[in-house]
Structures are given as structure tokens and as C-alpha cells.
Structure 1
Amino acid sequence: MKKQYSYIRTGILGLLLSSQALQAQNKVTLRADAPTQTINKNIYGHFAEHLGNCIYGGFYVGDSSAIPNVKGVRKDIISALRTLKVPNLRWPGGCFADTYHWKDGIGPKDKRPTIVNTWWGGVTENNSFGTHDFLDMCEELGAEPYLAGNVGSGTPQELADWVQYVNFPGKSPMSDLRQQNGRQQPWKVHFWGVGNEAWGCGGNMRPEYYADIYRKYSTFMSGNLFKIASGANSSDYNWTEVLMKNIPLHMLDGLALHHYSVVDWNKKGDAVDFTEEQYFQTMRSACFMDTLVRKHSAIMDKYDPKKKVALVVDEWGGWYNVEAGTNPGFLYQQNTMRDAMIAGVTLNIFNNHSDRVRMANLAQTVNVLQAVILTKGEKLILTPTYHVMEMYNVHQDATLIPVSIQSNNYTYKNEQLPAVTASASKDKAGVTHISLVNIDASKPQEITVETGASYKSVNGRILTSSKLQDCNTFNQPDKIKPVAFKGATIKNNQLTVKLPPFSVVVLELK
């Protein structure tokens, strides 16, 4: 028999369907009468770490470069990310954040000290891209900056000074220094991470110890700040329990969570040359995000029933072996239709849990892990993940429409996952958007969508390709891109949608 589930009540991995359901009709029901909330645009945030060629050779080429730039930042990247409507950008790490001393990256560039990036490749950086460069770039992008503070090797004074330097409008030692360096008005940075991965590269701390450290550092961070604690590594639910129990709610605005879609940390596999088994296991890891969000949220609900504290998934995405011939510490990997599936499934999960998930950051923006942009010299390509993020940006700050789903199985050998995931919203103009993903590697899925309202028209776009392993390259930059979708019809307030295998569709209903 086929079971019905709601994203609000039942985890994706908890859905077990019988073999008879394979031939049955998928069904999505829009629950417009259910309690709802806004899908915070910051769910669609990004992450830019000093790692490999994300900053240097990615975003930043320097103002003397022949590549067109604004203050050293590539104009084509600025244009692409504006189209993506990037709401926030996290910087400078990641593991790098807890070795970064912000004063090394201000003032005349030729006077800045160098630093060895001990986490990522052991390369020497000249600190030519620092606080002013990043915050000015965010203004160009129209994105809010999210600064990750150094708790691992820094001091409370250092972090407090950084807050004052970028935010204080009056006269003070740090605001005077900012003005000496050419910036009169503060940037008013709202989002602040108090350390990163304190359980690992941020200090190998116990949660009890970090809870006290967080309380100490955050005490000296003054102003209207959204302070985010270093949260759990994937399914470390004890970390969330200890922090929620020991950090007063008035000191905490967000709690981070990191989870990567990985086949096996010891044998991650190739980014392009992968098998269906590796694809299935990657998608199982991606779908596990739903379980993580539900379980961490349930713990948070015990201490914060009014949901004041946001769950901030500030690192997520696929992680594979680096491309052959590249520096292993640079984490450069190609981006295929598998990554589009990860993005579509994950963003549906975040949308449907937007009562608690109110910020997230894909790792990472340029040339690292599940990047939305890859560069090679003056060339630039947009990845399948970029296109999914662009298709989904219609959900930013829209009103969530809860969905209930009946889904067929995607079966590989003796393992099963729900083939279809979905999320829906209504924007400020009253237009309804539905995002549908079919992760099945070989079978199309026909879906009935009960809209519960009267719509006169439906149109949309689809992202798919002939093979899961397909990707955009510098020789074929547009091999994968969204095209008009003709597989949806509407009659008597019911949609019929035919999804090809491994495809992402976003529909617009009016």
C-alpha cells in the first residue's frame, strides 16, 4: 500500500512504500488552509571561504587584472550572483575563520602581512582581500554579509574590536581606524558567527566548554547583532542539547548545523565518473537532511517552544574527490546533474521546515565543493546547482504553502527512497510556485497536484539532461540550463505533471 506523509510531521527517510506503489500515482496536495510562515530569503545564502580558488582566482582577481572587475572583484561573478539574488554571504570561513586575524586584512595592501593557510593547501596568502574588500563586495551584490568570528585562536577583545570597526557610527578607536582606511560610514553587519565547528577545526571543544566560551565572547559583542553559535556536526544531537540547555535564549539568535552529502568520508568517489550506486547513496545522505532538521528542531523546541532561535544550516552540499591534477587542499570538483538533485531536494526540505530553518549557506560559491560558479582564467561557467538556486529564488520571502505528498519509490537493489519531493509558496503578488524534484535515475514520474484553488494557467521551467553525469564545461558551458517545461496541464483545479528522470521543475500558477 501507499502511505501519505506530510513534510511537517514525517521525515523523508521515514517514508517506506510497498512494491505495489511503484506503478501507482504520485500525489501532491497543497494545504493552503494549514498554519504557515514566511520562507526566509536567507535560506538561499552562500559561503565563501579562503579555500583554494574561491577568493583568490575566483571572486578576486585584483584591480590591475585584465579581467573586468570592480575593486578587484570580477564583474561577471557580480552579475551572475545578482541574478541568483544571493541574500547573504558567509566569510572568511569555515576552518579558515579560526586562524584569521581581521586586522591583518585592513589598511594599505602593500603593508599587510602574509598568512599561511594551514587548513587548505598550505599556501601563502597576502591578505589583499580583507574586511573592506568583502563588505564592499557584498554591497555590490546586494547581499547581507555574514562574518564568522575567530574564537579558536582569537580573543574576545579581537572579535569585539571587529564588531566596533564595521558597525560603530560614532567616535571610537576602531571607527577612527575604519575611517583612516577610507570608509566613513559603518557597514552595519547584522549576522555574526561566534566561531566555526568548535567540535573540530575550531578548537576540538566539548559542547559544555564551547557553551561557556560562546557566552563569554558574545557578551562583548555589542549592538543589534544576530549571533550564531557553532552548532552540531550532522547527527550530533547531544551538541544541540547541551548548547540549548546552557546558553540563555536572550544571548542566542541562531544555532548552526553542518551536513554534507557524502557517499563515504573515506572513499568519497569521483565528482563526474560515478555509478548509480554512488548516486543513490549520495541522495540518501542528502535526504537525511530532513531527519537532521526534524530531530535538531525537536531538541530546540524543548528549550525554545516559541522558535526564537533559528536553525542555521551554514554549510551543506555535495563533497567528492577533487578533480585529477588539482591541489587536494583546494577542494575543486565538477558539478553534475547529481548536484542539481542535491540542491533541489535540500531546498525543498529547508522551505518545508522554514518555521525553524531561517538561514542556510551552500558550500561554496566559486570553485570549491558544490560551487554555483567555476572559473578558468577569464572564462566562467554556471553549474547545474546555480540553475536550481536561480529557479528556486521565487520562494525567497514568499509565504509557505504546506504540502502533503504520496510518492513512489526510487529503488536501487534492496534500498528505497521517495522519488518525489516538493515545496510550494505564494509570493507577494499572489502567484503560486511549486518546486518538484524526481530523483529516480531511470524512471519518469507522473504526479497529480491537488491545488485547492482556482488557477487559470500553469507554466514553468525544467532542469535535466541525458545523463546524470552530465555537467557544464568550459567547452560546453550551456550543456545544462533551464528550458521551458511543457509537461504540466491543469483541469478542474488539478495539475498533472510528468517529470523525467533526475529532473527539477519549478511551476508558476496564476
Structure 2
Amino acid sequence: MKTKIIIIGLLFSMNVFGQNVLKLKSDTTKIKISKEIYGHFSEHLGTCIYEGIYVGEDSEIPNIKGYRKDVVEAIKELKVPVLRWPGGCFADTYHWKDGIGPKENRPSIVNVFWGGVTEDNSFGTHEFLDFCELVGIEPYLSINVGTGTVKEAVEWVEYVTSSNKSPMTDLRKKNGRDKPWNVKFWGIGNENWGCGGEMAPDYYANLYRNYSAYIKGEDFQKVICGPSGDDTQWTETILKGLDGKNHLAQGMSMHYYTLPTNDWEGSKGSSIDFGEEMWFSTIFNTMKIEDIIKEHLTVMDKYDPRGDIKLIVDEWGTWYDKLPGTKEGFLQQQNTVRDALVAGINLNIFNNYADRISMANIAQIVNVLQSVILTKESEMVKTPTYHVFKMYNVHQDANLVPISLETEGYIYKDKSIPALTASASEKEGITSITITNANPNKALEIDCVFGANSKLLGSKIVTGEEITDYNDFGKNEKVTTSEFSVGNIKKGILKLEIPAHSVVLIQLQEK
């Protein structure tokens, strides 16, 4: 179900003013916004795992079996539905048997992709899956295809999920876990066009078929490594390579990162020191994801007309230069109001394509890239992105409500983007509408057209005074969620003003 967006305004005029109208369509939909669209990603990268999620039982930082207590509580509050692990690029150098058994006997590993640090493998399969059980998250495991083998993958699946008596289940029991874990999401390879082996797409497609044939489970959702950005040739080749055996894959991944500069080799821009030009280019580039999604869905429709294979955007988010003074390869950045807008815009887009997108995973959950949580020693910060995810969790497993949105453009120099984005859903009689205003300079008036018998339940907002505001250690939050006064619905119409650089939630129900 797609959102109709009309930009009103002249492309090169700085005096744009248009009528902004949001209409909830009366026709109903049975399309469910999968809760997994609100998923997250955790990789052995920087301090995401060690120091972020896991500090060990002997740490002075309050913990539950080694997991940071403050992070556990924050993730539960956020209602994180699914978490991807162990990578990322790291996944295709990771051999799972190195991370099981007594910790003192586990061999170390050099993280060749991220900082060249040596890890002791104290956080492995048991630690990750037990953490998911502790916080109520569905695990999503990435299988090593780059340096692994089919045998290694099959034994991992057996070790984790089998209840039969076998050498692998005996080994699991020896390591302290009697019953299997319930793991249904399996990614077979990661970025195999790049750090996952620099493979040609036809070669990978055949390799995927080989792995998938041996990875069996009644409820398994197996994910084939899809494209980077707009690489439709990769998508075309791997889906053609399935040769009609679409049952081998239930999902296809897609990765898209938002950079302000479009320069992977040079500076990507600062995460905290920026003006309107970098603000605009970031929002402009993040909105490109919708056209990219459309391009890949067109190819998917060609090879999978029934839509059995879903699109899984299992890496997305902002990517800036590392913060000054932080380690190379740790990808540490701050998280401002700009990131809140990026999160709200992307989630609105994913919601509106819920008929084809079944999962998305923001990168990454703690301390890396566009994280929802930052930690430093015993302190923890909830980022602006955290507050947007928390506000949007009303959409999880709700039915998509079709909308039409007429929006003026936000124009900067010679470019224009929609100033407003929105999505809507209904669950248990409550309709939730989320709206973003990307214009950093002015509030926008909008007419929201609802049913004649609609009654307002409440509204919330995430924003800050400045576009560069962020939440820092030892300080009061500058960007948080607060109540938002929007007036009353009259004859089914709510006239409201969406503040500059903000993300808003409105909830209503029939009288």
C-alpha cells in the first residue's frame, strides 16, 4: 500500500507556500505493519557488544548475568522486536564454535574489519540468544558464507534449534542449554557483493541455493543477500539465479545508508557540527530510499509475482565521520534532531510499503552509527532516535491505514523535497498517525481529514530547540518525547501546526 505524495510549490522558488492536507482513506486494509520493521542490528563493531550490551558478570556496572541492566531495561521499554547478530562484515569471519563452551577455553579473534581489535569470544551464541530471551527479542542470525562452509552452517542451525539427539545437541547440553532456542530468522551471507566475499551475483546465487537447501526448519525465514543501494543488477541476477525455486528464500535483504555528502572515501560530514546545507542533504538523501525500494520491488515482481519473497532492509541509518578522539573503525557518532527526522521519515516509508517490507534493522542498537542507546562506563543515554522508535512502536503489528498526503516542498537552493511525510495504522480501535516536518525553519499548517465521528485521544512530539541538539552524558535530555497540544477535531477535520524539525504522533478513535 503506497502513500500518495504531492509536492506543491515551484522548484526554484524560495517563497513556497502550499496547502498541506492529510486524508485517511475510508477503505480498510488487512495489510499488517510487521513489528519486525522496528528491528535493530548488533555487530561486533566498536563498543556495540562489549561495553554496550555486555560487560561481564564481574563488572562494577550493574548487570544481569553480564548484560548491562540499564541497557536491558531501555530495550524492553522500546519494545525491540528483532535483533540481528553477529554482523555485518564481522559475520563472514565469525566461526560460531569459537564462541561456545567455557569462556576460558575460547580462542580469541582479531576483528579485521572494525579496528583490528582482539576479542576473546566471551560473547557468543549462548550469550546472544540468552540476551534475546531476557529482553523478549526475536533473534536474527547471520550465517558465515564468506569464510564458512555449508557443514559449519548446518551444524550451527542444529546446535541452536534441534531437539533431536545428535552430536550438536549433545554439545549444546554439555554447554549448559538443554532445550533449543526458537530462532526463525536466518540470513545466509551478508554483503557478499563486498566485505562478504567480493562475489559475483551469479556465483553467490548458486552458493545461496546450496546453503539454503541444507538449512531446514518449518518456520524458518531464510534471507538471501540482496543489493547495496540502487544496484538492481544484483537483485535481478540473484533472483533469476533462484531459477524459480523461490521457496528457498523468504526474504531478500537491502542495505542503504544515509550520508550527507555521498562520499564514501572522503568526509561524510560531522554528526554534531552542521548547518542547513548538511541538514538538507541528509534528509534529501534519506528520502531517496523510497525510489530505491520501488526499483527493487519492480524487479522482485518480475521474478516473484506472488510476493512470496519479502524485502528486508536489514541495514539502514545515518553514517557520519567518527567523533573526534574516538578510535578508527569504531564508527562512533552522536545522534541529533536530524537523526530523529531520518528515523521518522524512514519508518513512515517502511510502514507504507508494509505489503512488501516485512523487516528493517537500523544500524546499530548501541554505540555505533545511528544507535538508539549510547553508553560510557556506567552512564547511558537515550538518543533522539530512541525516542522516535518508542513513539512509533504503536504501529507494530497494527493494520496499515491508507492515506493521501498533499505537502508543500521544503526547498533549499535548487532542490526540493516533501516537507512532510506521514503514515497511519489502526490497532484495537485506535488509529495512530505519525507525521514528520523536515523544514528546519518554520512550522507547517496541515488539515487532517478524519472520519466525522473521530475523537482525539492525545498527541506527542519529538524535537529540540535546535537541529543540532542531542542528548549527552551527565546532562538533562535536550531531545525527548513530550505532550503536544493540537486542538480539537471539528466536523472530521483537525487543523494543526507541525513545528519545525519535529516528529509528531496523533492518536484518535471513533466516538
TM-score normalised according to structure 1 size? 0.96
After superposition, the C-alpha distances for 1:76-97 in whole angstroms (9 at most, x for unaligned) are 1111011111000000000000
1:365 maps to a residue whose letter is I
Map of 2:373 onto structure 1: 373
The verdict on how the C-alpha distance between 1:451 and 1:21 changes in structure 2, with shifts beyond 3 A counting, is: farther
Map of 2:422 onto structure 1: 422
Task: Tell me which of 236, 239, 242 is aligned to 1:244.
Answer: 239
After superposition, the C-alpha distances for 1:292-314 in whole angstroms (9 at most, x for unaligned) are 11111111111222211110000
Written as runs of structure 1 = structure 2, the 5 A alignment for 1:44-83 is 44-83=38-77
Question: Is the partner of 2:459 in helix, strand or coil?
Answer: strand
Map of 1:147 onto structure 2: 141
Q: Note if contact 1:488-1:498 (Cα within 8 Å) is conserved in structure 2.
A: no
The alpha carbon displacement at 1:188 in A equals 2.0
Q: Does 1:262 align with 2:259?
A: yes
Q: State the alpha-carbon separation in 1 of the partners of residues 247 and 373 from structure 2.
A: 38
Map of 1:335 onto structure 2: 335
Q: State the alpha-carbon separation in 2 of the partners of residues 140 and 34 from structure 1.
A: 37
Question: Is the partner of 2:455 in helix, strand or coil?
Answer: coil
After superposition, the C-alpha distances for 1:204-225 in whole angstroms (9 at most, x for unaligned) are 1111111001001111112121
The alpha carbon displacement at 1:186 in A equals 0.2
Q: State the alpha-carbon separation in 1 of the partners of residues 25 and 475 from structure 2.
A: 42
The alpha carbon displacement at 1:490 in A equals 1.1
The alpha carbon displacement at 1:456 in A equals 2.1
Map of 2:90 onto structure 1: 96
Map of 1:180 onto structure 2: 174
Question: Is the partner of 2:226 in helix, strand or coil?
Answer: strand
The verdict on how the C-alpha distance between 1:16 and 1:249 changes in structure 2, with shifts beyond 3 A counting, is: farther
Map of 2:191 onto structure 1: 197
Map of 1:3 onto structure 2: none
Identity among equivalent pairs (%): 51
Q: Note if contact 2:34-2:396 (Cα within 8 Å) is conserved in structure 1.
A: yes
Q: State the alpha-carbon separation in 1 of the partners of residues 209 and 153 from structure 2.
A: 13
Written as runs of structure 1 = structure 2, the 5 A alignment for 1:85-484 is 85-224=79-218, 225-247=220-242, 248-263=245-260, 264=262, 265=264, 266-427=266-427, 429-484=428-483
Q: State the alpha-carbon separation in 1 of the partners of residues 59 and 29 from structure 2.
A: 52
Q: Note if contact 1:458-1:489 (Cα within 8 Å) is conserved in structure 2.
A: no
Q: State the alpha-carbon separation in 2 of the partners of residues 68 and 391 from structure 1.
A: 27
Q: State the alpha-carbon separation in 2 of the partners of residues 17 and 208 from structure 1.
A: 45
Structure 2 residues not aligned, in runs of 5+:
none
1:51 maps to a residue whose letter is L
Q: State the alpha-carbon separation in 2 of the partners of residues 79 and 278 from structure 1.
A: 34
Q: Note if contact 1:381-1:474 (Cα within 8 Å) is conserved in structure 2.
A: yes
Question: Is the partner of 2:225 in helix, strand or coil?
Answer: strand
Q: State the alpha-carbon separation in 2 of the partners of residues 310 and 139 from structure 1.
A: 26
Question: Is the partner of 2:325 in helix, strand or coil?
Answer: coil
Q: State the alpha-carbon separation in 2 of the partners of residues 298 and 9 from structure 1.
A: 17
Q: State the alpha-carbon separation in 1 of the partners of residues 487 and 365 from structure 2.
A: 32
Question: How many pairs align?
Answer: 501
The verdict on how the C-alpha distance between 1:476 and 1:303 changes in structure 2, with shifts beyond 3 A counting, is: same
Q: State the alpha-carbon separation in 2 of the partners of residues 355 and 346 from structure 1.
A: 16
The alpha carbon displacement at 1:21 in A equals 8.6
The alpha carbon displacement at 1:475 in A equals 2.7
The verdict on how the C-alpha distance between 1:109 and 1:159 changes in structure 2, with shifts beyond 3 A counting, is: same
After superposition, the C-alpha distances for 1:101-124 in whole angstroms (9 at most, x for unaligned) are 000000000000000000000000
Q: State the alpha-carbon separation in 2 of the partners of residues 498 and 190 from structure 1.
A: 44
Over aligned residue pairs, what C-alpha RMSD do you find? 1.4
The alpha carbon displacement at 1:496 in A equals 1.5
After superposition, the C-alpha distances for 1:115-171 in whole angstroms (9 at most, x for unaligned) are 000000000000000000000000011010000000000000000000000000110
The verdict on how the C-alpha distance between 1:125 and 1:394 changes in structure 2, with shifts beyond 3 A counting, is: same
Q: Note if contact 1:36-1:401 (Cα within 8 Å) is conserved in structure 2.
A: no
2:438 maps to a residue whose letter is I
The alpha carbon displacement at 1:403 in A equals 1.0
Q: Note if contact 1:92-1:147 (Cα within 8 Å) is conserved in structure 2.
A: yes
303-312 or 150-159: bigger deviation: 303-312
Structure 1 residues not aligned, in runs of 5+:
1-6
Q: Note if contact 1:310-1:357 (Cα within 8 Å) is conserved in structure 2.
A: yes
The alpha carbon displacement at 1:282 in A equals 0.8
Map of 1:31 onto structure 2: 25
2:423 maps to a residue whose letter is S
Map of 1:490 onto structure 2: 489
Map of 1:4 onto structure 2: none
The verdict on how the C-alpha distance between 1:9 and 1:82 changes in structure 2, with shifts beyond 3 A counting, is: closer
Q: Note if contact 2:3-2:404 (Cα within 8 Å) is conserved in structure 1.
A: no
285-294 or 190-199: bigger deviation: 285-294
The verdict on how the C-alpha distance between 1:110 and 1:477 changes in structure 2, with shifts beyond 3 A counting, is: farther
After superposition, the C-alpha distances for 1:355-405 in whole angstroms (9 at most, x for unaligned) are 001100000000000000000110000000000000000000000001111
Question: Is the partner of 1:232 in helix, strand or coil?
Answer: coil
Question: Is the partner of 1:316 in helix, strand or coil?
Answer: strand
Q: State the alpha-carbon separation in 1 of the partners of residues 507 and 481 from structure 2.
A: 14
Q: Note if contact 2:8-2:19 (Cα within 8 Å) is conserved in structure 1.
A: no
The alpha carbon displacement at 1:241 in A equals 1.1
376-385 or 25-34: bigger deviation: 25-34
Question: Is the partner of 1:426 in helix, strand or coil?
Answer: strand
Q: State the alpha-carbon separation in 2 of the partners of residues 453 and 39 from structure 1.
A: 25
After superposition, the C-alpha distances for 1:41-69 in whole angstroms (9 at most, x for unaligned) are 00000000000000001000001111111
1:464 maps to a residue whose letter is T
Question: Is the partner of 1:110 in helix, strand or coil?
Answer: helix
Q: State the alpha-carbon separation in 2 of the partners of residues 186 and 453 from structure 1.
A: 52
Q: State the alpha-carbon separation in 1 of the partners of residues 474 and 200 from structure 2.
A: 48
Q: Note if contact 2:109-2:120 (Cα within 8 Å) is conserved in structure 1.
A: yes
The alpha carbon displacement at 1:487 in A equals 2.7
